[in-house]
Structure formats: structure tokens, C-alpha cells
Copies of this chain bind each other. A is one copy, B any other.
Amino acid sequence: MGNPAKTLERQRSFKNAVLELRALTADDLEAVNGTILDHMQSSVKMIPEVAGHLINAGGKRLRPVLTIAAARSFGYDGRQHINLAAAVELIHGATLLHDDVVDESALRRGLETANIIWGNKESVLVGDFLFSRSFELMVKTGSLKVLDILSAASCTIAEGEVLQLATQKNTAATFEMYLDVVKAKTAALFAAATQAGAVIAGASETEEKAFYEYGLNFGIAYQLVDDALDYAGSQTDLGKSVGDDFREGKMTLPVVHAISAARNDEERAFWQRTIADVDQKDSDLPRALDLMQRDNIIPRTLDCAREFADAALASLRTLPRSNYTSALADLVDLSVARNS
């Protein structure tokens, strides 16, 4: 990640891949934004204020784009993928509001979080509201199967969040434990977004399954890159500080790798103190970064992400080819080379 020219090129490429997919789905995405805006409204005026702060804060709309692309890749020309994509983004928004309360985060996408501006109580309740609204939207699709997929995914997300709470600060956490958290808290919604998009378009069971696998593996790859960037990105790119996960004592894959690569008791004690006890001083983050550089931790994490990205691409290749599947392939390919 050291070559600035190469880094810039990678960044451009991922941004282009997202832009390509957004251009391909531009009309649908505009309709989704309108639907989201409609469903944030309430006579209780604090609700659209809090929800609007989050929803308008410049998210990539990655999950609804996945739903739209999956549905459109089968030539779907109905309108229910709009409600569905909006529902997926509202679930995501609800979990972000609750996440920021649970993580005590102060910054998201470069802006102060809702829990800081309005308070934890407001974030919990407006999250509940958005979550309920997302189910209202799913009901509008008229598909019980879609409701089944997304309610199961919502359960899995909550389980993943609780599991993360239980493994946080646990320096004995293994790669498998970490992967369980990532699958549940991030990849489950990616998988449900693409699978439900295929379902609403009337895809076959095999195609539906392939889109589920695509979403799940892409979601894992995406989160692994995110976790790597927390130790390697720059603040401007991420809209959050480098080392946020470190400061919170989060057991992410770079830390799992770094601990297993520790060469002596002193190094193991360093990770125990900084991650498990979250007892840190200013020189600790630079030292963590040094140790990670010495043991090649970030490239190893990105290699791991690459494996899941390859699995996502393999699933995609079993599906009917279209502009949409090409764009979805580019997205995966370039996401593992992104730096923001």
C-alpha cells in the first residue's frame, strides 16, 4: 500500500466500479432515494431529523444497488425491487444508528454521529422506527419469501452484533470466531440484498442461491478490506480516524493475525494491554502499525479478502451474463484493491 501513485489508481478504480454500477441503476436508485425519503417521514418531527442526518450523510447506497442489479440482471421490469432496495437500506440505517450507540462512536462518514448530536435514546428509538418502516416496505412487495429472507437476515445481524460484543477485547479470539462475526454483522445483509433481488425478479432456486453466495462472499471480502484499511487507510479517505478499531479494542482480522505472529511474551502482553484491557498511550498505535508492517499483516488480510472475492466471482460466473453482472464483478474485483 506504500506507493502513492498505485494507491490513487486503486482508489479511482473502485470509485469507478461503484460509479459504473450507480450509472447503470441511476433511475432505480433515484426512485429508491425517493421511497426512503417518504418512509422517513413522521408527524414526530425529531424522527426525520435524526433519520435524515444519517440517510443523507453520503452513504454509498451499496446494498440497494446490489438489490437493483440482482433484480435487473434477470431483465426484471416491475417496480417491487424499488421497495425492496429501500427496505434493505433502511435495515442498514437502523443497524448503523444502533451500532453507533453500542460502539459509542462519535464520527461516521466524516460527520458527527446521531448519538452524539441527539443522544443515545433518540438513536435507539429512531433505529426502531426505521426498522419497522423497512418491514412495511417489504410487505408492499407482496412477497412472503422476501420477508422471510430479510427477517432471517435481521436476526443474524443482531446475533452478529451480540457475538461481536462478546468477542471484543478478547485476545484469544480466533480467525473462525472473527469470521462468524463478519458473516453475521456485515455479509448476511449483502447476501439477503442480492438474494431477495433475485427472488423478486422470479429467479430459479439455483440462481437465487448463486446470488446469495455472491452477496455473502462479497460482504466478507468488503468487511475484511474495511478492517485492513482501519490500520492502513488515511483519515480523509475513510471519513473516520485511522486506528478507530484499535482504540476501541476491537478484535478484527489484522489484530488476530498480529497476535498469532507475536514473537515473545512482551509482544503478547502489548496486545493484551492495548486490545483486551484497552489501556493505551499515544505511542501504542504507531507501535501496533510497526508490528503489523513487520509481520506483513495488512497484505495477509487483503489476501484473505481476495479469496472471498474470488468465491463471489465464481458464483457470479454461474449466472446469466449481463451489463449488471459485469458491473457486479468489477465491484468485487476492485473492492479488494480499494483504499476508502
Contacts and interface: CB of A to CB of B under 8 A. Distances in A.
Oligomeric state, in number of copies? 2
Interface string A163-187: 1011000000000000000000000
A336 B167 CA distance: 48
Contact of A129 (B43, B124, B133, B158): B158
Given A136-B151, A154-B128, A159 B102 contact: no
B159 A122 contact: no
Contacts of A162: 42, 44, 46-47, 122, 125-126, 129
Contact of A144 (B144, B152, B157, B165): B144
A269 interface: no
A147 interface: yes
User: For chain A, what secondary structure do more than half of its interface residues adopt (helix, strand, loop), or is it mixed?
Assistant: helix
Interface string A93-124: 00100100110000000000000000011101
Interface in A127-160: 128-129, 131-133, 135-136, 138-139, 142, 144, 147-148, 151-152, 154-155, 157-159
Contacts of A44: 159, 162-163, 166
A144 B136 CA distance: 10
Given A98-B128, A102-B125, A144-B144, 14 more contacts: A42-B159, A43-B159, A46-B162, A98-B125, A101-B120, A120-B120, A121-B165, A125-B162, A125-B165, A131-B131, A132-B152, A132-B154, A133-B151, A142-B144
9 contacts: A42-B162, A95-B128, A120-B120, A125-B161, A126-B158, A129-B158, A129-B159, A132-B158, A135-B154
